[in-house]
Amino acid sequence: MNKPVVLVAEELSEAGLAVLGADFEVRHTDGADRSQLLPALAGVDALIVRSATKVDAEAIAAAPKLRVVARAGVGLDNVDVEAATKAGVMVVNAPTSNITSAAEQTIALILGSARNTAQAHAALKNGEWKRSKYTGVELDEKIVGIVGFGKIGQLVAQRLLPFGVEILAYDPYLPPARAAQLGVKLVGFDELLKKSDFITLHPPKTKETVGLIGDKELHEVKPSVRIINVARGGIIDEAALYAAIKEGRVAGAGLDVYAKEPCTDSPLFELDQVVATPHLGASTHEAQEKAGTQVARSVKLALAGEFVPDA
């Protein structure tokens, strides 16, 4: 009998592949390349992706045998869940696999942005010893605004509080009592923009959050603010951020995600005030192992017609 086919369209950890084991025919493709992805979908029963593969209505239509799409990570913004559901395709993810890694990457970019670590490192390796140029700021006694206070936002807050910061959180879905329990003050979006010395973004990417930080918002912030985005590209309007930094209305930014990825030639990269990484929030051995094994287990259960519990 033919084995069910699992198409792995992005890198999956060895541990995840081991969970799939010998029960499936595992095929690989480059999901970011549509000309490879669409024909590769023809005979597959399950599709495993990270964030670079667009699983839209066209991709789902190209996979008539598809029974499950598994996202080895948190966000589902690259999967058209409605189109999948209409086609009878189950969508699963690994919602907690990389939240610690994403929170730690956020802390790295906050500190890196505060202390110009990457810029000073690049200059020194280029033979330049520039101490005053790279004078930074302390976190102690600063106000950090966290936009989106879900699992990752909360882990960021826990890790930041020992630095002596005050935390303001904006999240339309969080009860104030829960915020107080976590030692943060729940505020309106405008108050957060006006008061924060650092703003870090952690909402999902939805119609409501695309362009959440745009030109108007960047005219309301303190000129000393540093803005960090380890969530999703597009939540900050990149052109507006570029103008705000150029005009001295924003002191700096730490960016891990971009409106269009891969992104290698953004005007933002020309600015010394910007520290940038290539979507590394979930890129740790630990997170990839968890994401890979969780989605592989879900795919096995789904293809066996069994109940798939929340990971």
Q: Which residues of 188-221 are buried (b: 16+ CB within 10 A; e: fewer)?
A: ebeebbebbbbbbbbbbbeeebbbbbbeebbeeb
Among 6, 7, 50, 297, binds ligand MLT (CB under 6 A): 50
Q: Does 282 bind ligand MLT (CB under 6 A)?
A: yes
Q: Determine phi and psi for 195, rounding to 5 degrees.
A: -95, -20
Active site residue 115: no
| Residues 51-70, interacting with ligand MLT (CB under 6 A) | 51
Q: What's the alpha-carbon Rg for the chain, to the nearest Å? A: 21
Instruction: Note whether 167 and 161 are within 8 A (CB).
Output: yes
User: Which of these ranges, 57-65, 73-81, 83-91, 144-152, lies near ligand MLT under the rule CB under 6 A?
Assistant: 73-81
Among 4, 16, 31, 73, binds ligand MLT (CB under 6 A): 73
Q: Report the alpha-carbon distance of residue 296 to residue 294 in Å, rounded.
A: 6
Least distance (Å) from ligand MLT to the CB of residue 12?
11
How many residues touch ligand MLT under the rule CB under 6 A: the total is 9
Runs of H (alpha helix) within 187-267: 189-195, 215-218, 238-246
| Residue 281: both structure tokens together | 């929030």
| Residue 37: both structure tokens together | 């992805």
Least distance (Å) from ligand MLT to the CB of residue 273?
25
Q: Does 98 bind ligand MLT (CB under 6 A)?
A: yes
Catalytic residue of the set 67, 226, 279, 297: 279
Contacts of 126 (CB under 8 A, 6+ apart): none
Residue whose CB is less far from ligand MLT, 4 or 281: 281
Least distance (Å) from ligand MLT to the CB of residue 7?
16
Active site residue 279: yes
Q: Does 290 bind ligand MLT (CB under 6 A)?
A: no
Least distance (Å) from ligand MLT to the CB of residue 152?
9
Which amino acid type is present at position 222? Answer: K
Residue whose CB is less far from ligand MLT, 11 or 270: 11
Catalytic residue of the set 202, 232, 249, 297: 232
Write out the E strands in the chain. Answer: 5-8, 25-28, 46-49, 68-71, 90-93, 143-147, 166-170, 185-186, 198-201, 226-229, 252-255, 274-276
Q: Does 75 bind ligand MLT (CB under 6 A)?
A: yes
Alpha carbon 40 to its chain centroid, in Å, reads: 27
Residue in the shown chain whose Cβ atom is closest to ligand MLT:
73
User: Which of these ranges, 57-65, 123-131, 207-215, 276-284, lies near ligand MLT under the rule CB under 6 A?
Assistant: 276-284
**Active site amino acids:** 232, 261, 279
Residues lying near ligand MLT in the complex (CB under 6 A): 50-51, 73-75, 98, 279, 281-282
